[in-house]
C-alpha cells in the first residue's frame, strides 16, 4: 500500500516522527515533529479524538483540533526510552503499582499529576498492543 492510500484509507490528518536535538550542555531535547515519512512495513500508532464525556474541555478542544495522526511504533519506542531511560517491559516491572510515586518524580511546573499513569498506560500499549485512552486521545497500534 502506498503512503497516500494509507492516509486516505485511515483518514490521517498528520504524520509525526520522534525527534531529538542534543544541546550544548550535554542535554537532549526530544519530542514530536510533523513529518512526511511513515514506514508502512511495521506497526503504526494511530491517535484520534476520544468521544468520552469525562474529558476536560481543554483536552477535548485540543484533541478535536489535532485530528487523526499516525507515527511509527519505533518512534514511540524511542520517545519512551528518551522519557524514562528504560524499555517499556522493564519500566512496567519496576513501576506498575507504584504510579503515585512515579508521578511525584516529575518536577515540571505544568504537570498534570497523572503522568505516572500515562507512562504506565503507554508502556502497556507498547508491550501488549491494543489501545489506550488518555488526555482526550485514543492511541491504537495497527499492523498495516
pLDDT at 103: 62
Phi/psi of residue 125, each to 5°?
-60, -45
Instruction: Write down the pLDDT at residue 125.
Output: 97
CA distance 124 to 93: 11
Q: Beta-strand (E) ranges in the chain?
A: 14-22, 28-34, 43-49, 69-72, 131-134, 137-143
Q: Residue 104 has what pLDDT?
A: 55
Q: What pLDDT score does 115 carry?
A: 72
Could you tell me the residue ranges of all domains in the chain? 3-85+129-143
Q: What is the pLDDT of residue 96?
A: 80
Please report the pLDDT score of residue 53 as a whole number. 76
Transcribe 73-115 into DSSP letters: HHHHHHHHHHHHSS-HHHHHHHHTT-HHHHHHT---TT--S-H
- Compute the distance between CA of residue 65 and CA of residue 67 in angstroms, rounded to an integer: 6
The confidence score (pLDDT) of residue 111 equals 53
Residue 31: name the closest of 70, 83, 69, 66 by CA. Answer: 83
Encode the chain (144 residues) as per-residue pLDDT tens digits: 899 999 999 999 999 999 999 887 888 889 999 999 999 999 999 999 988 778 888 888 888 888 999 999 999 999 999 988 999 999 999 988 777 677 655 545 555 556 778 889 999 999 999 999 988 899 999 985
pLDDT for the residue numbered 23: 85
The whole-number pLDDT of residue 48 equals 96
pLDDT at 35: 97
List all residues 6 or more positions away from 54 whose beta carbon is below 8 Å from its beta carbon.
none
Q: Is the dihedral of CA 67, 19, 142, 127 positive or negative?
A: negative
0.95 surpassed by pTM = no
Amino acid at each position: 500500500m502506498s503512503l497516500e492510500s494509507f492516509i486516505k484509507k485511515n483518514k490521517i490528518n498528520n504524520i509525526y516522527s520522534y525527534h531529538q536535538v542534543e544541546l550544548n550542555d550535554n542535554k537532549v531535547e526530544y519530542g514530536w515533529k510533523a513529518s512526511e515519512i511513515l514506514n508502512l512495513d511495521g506497526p503504526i500508532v494511530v491517535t484520534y479524538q476520544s468521544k468520552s464525556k469525562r474529558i476536560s474541555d481543554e483536552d477535548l478542544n485540543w484533541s478535536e483540533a489535532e485530528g487523526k495522526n499516525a507515527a511509527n511504533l519505533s518512534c514511540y519506542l524511542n520517545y519512551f526510552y528518551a522519557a524514562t531511560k528504560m524499555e517499556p517491559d522493564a519500566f512496567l516491572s519496576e513501576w506498575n503499582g507504584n504510579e503515585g510515586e512515579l508521578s511525584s518524580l516529575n518536577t515540571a511546573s505544568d504537570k498534570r499529576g497523572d503522568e505516572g499513569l500515562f507512562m504506565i498506560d503507554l508502556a502497556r500499549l507498547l508491550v501488549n498492543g491494543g489501545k489506550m485512552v488518555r488526555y482526550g486521545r485514543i492511541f491504537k497500534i495497527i499492523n498495516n
